[in-house]
Amino acid sequence: MTSIDIRIKLSALWLFILLNIIFRDIHQMALASHLEMLMTGYYNGIEITDDLMLLGGFLVQVPIAMVLFSLLLTRRIARPVTMMAAILTTGTLLSTAPTDMDDTFHLVIELVAMAAIVWTSWTWRAQEPNAVQSRNAVSNPG
């Protein structure tokens, strides 16, 4: 198996989670009951307000920002930021119980990916060589 740079792996995992969130939300739009609920201004009994939409915008910015931050931040800064982002995003994902089987499926996939993010960040060694350095060392030994 090919070694992948930790930063690229983390960025790809955050992107994977985002794509699952987006697809799940788009997928819900195909249900007439979902659209009817949105038309009332309430979702699962919660009134949809401008403040709630703003909060949702802030919460979704966390994984969006982590796609970029995973690539740009140093290990020393990226590890605690990743852990905080993982906790916040997991809390957001778990804040609404799944209403059907496909929501449950996506939630499980997202949580597995989140566990991979936490594990990858937790086990990130201080002198982890990036993939390019590893390939150069193999092709040019000594």
Q: What is the pLDDT of residue 1?
A: 62
Q: How many residues are listed for the chain in this entry?
A: 142
Query: At residue 18, what is the residue type?
Result: L
Confirm whether 15 is domain-assigned.
Answer: yes
Q: What is this structure's pTM?
A: 0.82
Confirm whether 84 is domain-assigned.
Answer: yes
Q: What is the pLDDT of residue 139?
A: 57
Contact 78, 120 (CB under 8 A): no
Confirm whether 141 is domain-assigned.
Answer: no
Confirm whether 1 is domain-assigned.
Answer: no
Q: What domain range includes position 35?
A: 6-124
Confirm whether 132 is domain-assigned.
Answer: no
pLDDT tens digits, residue range 52-107? 999 999 999 999 999 999 999 999 999 999 999 999 999 999 998 887 898 899 99
Give CA angle at 65 (118, 23), nearest 5°.
80
Structural domain count, the chain: 1
Confirm whether 135 is domain-assigned.
Answer: no
